[in-house]
Amino acid sequence: MGTAFTIQRSTRTSRVTAIVALLLVAVLFAAPWWAGRANVRLLGEILSFVALASLWNLLAGYAGLASVGQQAYVGFGGYALFALAMFLGVHPLVAIAAAGLVGALVAIPIAPLLFRLQGAYFAIGTWVLAEVFRLSFAQVAALGGGSGTSLPVGIVAGIAADRALREMLLYWSALAIAVAAVAFVVLLLRSRAGLALTAIRDSEIASESLGIDIWRTKLLVYVSVAGLTSMTGAFIFLQKLRISPDAAFSVNDWTAYVIFIAVIGGIGTIEGPVVGTILFFLLRETLADLGTTYLILLGAVAIFVMLRAPKGLWGLVVQHTGITLVPVRRRVVFPKNS
């Protein structure tokens, strides 16, 4: 009795991917030497969207927490950076990390409130939360109230000795945030909590009956995603130099585009958000000058992908080839001769 079998995770492809990913990070790290200033900045923006999309994907695609209010933490992180840098004189790069910590702390009391809501109600609840954040920050006169405020040039200049070094440091923070976000998602999914998450995604009731603490697992995911999203937000607004409630808590910029990226790339996969981000930026860089037509095209692409490839572009690739670049799934392998 008892057919001998093994659990396999990594495949040859995934081992190759790991090496390629390391090489890619090294290449990206060296970007200030091979790309121009404009492209380094663009790469920084791309990386921040890789982080946002991967984190949203973890929430919605793995933990079943379909939030449409992640702009709450992007904006909160941005404001935290401005407050820390302007009032406490914290070095902006240190403030990015601190903003992440503050964002996670703020998410701890918020999570229990939101978790009382299910499905569509949860989604609406997260949006309401973001609006509450927006309206609250619009009342803070020291941060410009509804008008917003600019980061004083002195603070920006104080990041590094000269402009080239400052731009490099900023870019590397974006790279660090993106790598941290993707690595966090991968490592979490490979851990016990990840197994629990997959079970929760497939059936909450069944997983609860198996003894999974749903509430704690979701809390872990929500709070850590909030922290990393706040860090990304802090970086984004350090690049923008200016923050206002409407810009900080923009549902279009920080959630609609991010959902677009995750959906066209492939929700519930590690690779999807990266593929989606590349596609999004290809479209934006080539078509954004078309004005309204560009937005119509984005919508058309989203509709087309949802109809023809509901699992996203990466889902399509997986379906046709069966490859897994990032090993988060466990496969049962029976010996060939049994």
Partner 1 sequence: MATSTGTGRMRALVSRRSFLTAAAGAALAAPAIMRHSRAYAETPKLRIGHVSPRTGPLAGFAEADDHILAGISKAYSGGIDNNGRAWAIEIVSKDSQSNPNRAAEVASELILKEEVDIIVAASTPDTVNPVSDQAEVNGTPCITTDCPWQPYFFGRNGNPDTGFRSTYHFFWGLEDVIASFLALWQHEGVARKVGGLFPNDADGNAWGDAERGFPKPLGEAGFTLTDPGRYQPMTDDFTAQISAFKAAGAEIVTGNMIPPDFAGFWSQAGQQGFRPKIVTIGKALLFPSVIESLGERGVGLSSEIWWTPNHPFKSSLTDESARQLAESYTAATGRPWTQPIGFKHALFEVAADVIRRAEDLEDPEAIVEAIRATSLNTIVGPVDWSKGPVKNVTKTPLVAGQWQKQGGRVDLVVTTNANAPQIPVGGEFVLLA
8 binds partner 1 (CB under 8 A): no
Nearest distance from C-beta of residue 105 to partner 1, angstroms: 26
Interacting residue with partner 1 among 35, 97, 168, 283 (CB under 8 A) = 35
139 or 191: whose CB is closer to partner 1? 139
Nearest distance from C-beta of residue 203 to partner 1, angstroms: 31
Nearest distance from C-beta of residue 25 to partner 1, angstroms: 11
- The token pair that represents 124 in the structure block: 């609406």
CA 137 and chain centroid, separation: 23
Report the candidate in 77, 30, 300 with the shortest Cα–Cα distance to residue 171: 30
Stretch that binds partner 1, among 49-57, 189-197, 241-249, 302-310 (CB under 8 A): 241-249
- Length of the chain counted residue by residue: 338
Q: What's the angle, vertex CA 76, arms to CA 71 and CA 80, rounded to 5? A: 155
156 binds partner 1 (CB under 8 A): yes
179 binds partner 1 (CB under 8 A): no
Q: How many CB atoms lie within 10 A of CB 85?
A: 26
Stretch that binds partner 1, among 87-95, 196-204, 213-221, 248-256 (CB under 8 A): 248-256
212 or 318: whose CB is closer to partner 1? 318
20 binds partner 1 (CB under 8 A): yes
Q: Residues 304-323 vs partner 1: string with x where CB under 8 A?
A: -----------------x-x
- The token pair that represents 36 in the structure block: 């121009």
| Euclidean distance between CA atoms 325 and 159, whole angstroms | 37
278 binds partner 1 (CB under 8 A): yes
Stretch that binds partner 1, among 40-48, 180-188, 198-206, 304-312 (CB under 8 A): 40-48
336 binds partner 1 (CB under 8 A): no
Do the bridges between strand 331-333 and strand 6-8 make them parallel or antiparallel, or are there none, so unpaired? antiparallel
In one-letter notation, the amino acid at residue 246 is: D
289 binds partner 1 (CB under 8 A): yes
| Euclidean distance between CA atoms 278 and 50, whole angstroms | 9
CB 222 within 8 Å of CB 63: yes
Grouping H, G, I as helix, E, B as strand and the rest as coil, residue 334 is: coil
Q: How many CB atoms lie within 10 A of CB 32?
A: 18
| Euclidean distance between CA atoms 74 and 57, whole angstroms | 15
3 binds partner 1 (CB under 8 A): no
Number of residues that bind partner 1 (CB under 8 A): 54
105 or 142: whose CB is closer to partner 1? 142
CB 160 within 8 Å of CB 166: yes
In terms of C-beta density within 10 A (0-12 exposed, 13-18 middle, 19 or more buried), how is residue 117 classed?
Answer: middle
Scan residues 113-152 and list those touching partner 1 (CB under 8 A). 135, 138-139, 144-152
Residues binding partner 1 (CB under 8 A): 11-13, 16-17, 20, 24, 27, 34-39, 41-43, 45, 135, 138-139, 144-153, 156-157, 163, 239-242, 244, 246-247, 250, 252-253, 278, 285, 288-289, 291-292, 295, 321, 323, 325
